[in-house]
Amino acid sequence: MTPTPLFHLAFPVNDIAQARAFYGDLLGCHEGRSAEKWVDFNFYGHQLVAHLAPGETGLSATNPVDEHDVPSRHFGVILSLPEWEALAAKLKAAGIKFIIEPHIRFKGEVGEQATMFFLDPSGNALEFKSFANMDYIFAK
């Protein structure tokens, strides 16, 4: 049996210590290998690599989606609804400022989903979501 492929994403950060605090301490991503200018994180079973590259960070353009300005460059993960709700509560308690507050998008439609957008300390946008029906993740 072929194992499910894992996702790998390398992205820029302004400060490795801030990345460790945000991804490791706040989001609970275990740290893997690292060097002076990069660090691996286990991002829900996938490999995230924060690279020190201050000139490359920051929020990019947005596109309108369901009456919100969604950052065109973002990444995240799809969680179960209880995991999503727990994370939303944890982020609110930590004082995270949301770009798009936790809410339900496309209510009553095939793609109904809970979603939230926020920035890491380097200005990289993240989206965490949960689908009402996981079978509809790719449904049209």
User: What tens digit of pLDDT does each residue of 60-88 get?
Assistant: 788 878 788 888 899 999 999 999 999 99
Stretch 4-12: mean pLDDT: 94
| Residue 25 in this model has a pLDDT that exceeds 80 | yes
Buried b (16+ CB within 10 A) or exposed e, 23-55: bbeebebeeeeeeeebbbbebbeeebbbebeee
CATH H-level superfamily of 8-53: 2,3-Dihydroxybiphenyl 1,2-Dioxygenase, domain 1 (3.10.180.10)
Q: Do 8-53 and 62-136 fold alike per CATH? A: yes
Work out the mean pLDDT of the chain and round it to a whole number. Answer: 93
- Higher-pLDDT residue of 122, 3: 122
Kindly list the domain boundaries of the chain, sorted by start residue. 8-53, 62-136
Give domain 62-136's CATH number out of 3.40.50.150, 3.10.180.10, 3.40.50.1980, 1.10.357.10: 3.10.180.10
Predicted model pTM: 0.91
Q: What is the model's pLDDT at position 90?
A: 97
Question: What pLDDT does residue 3 have?
Answer: 81
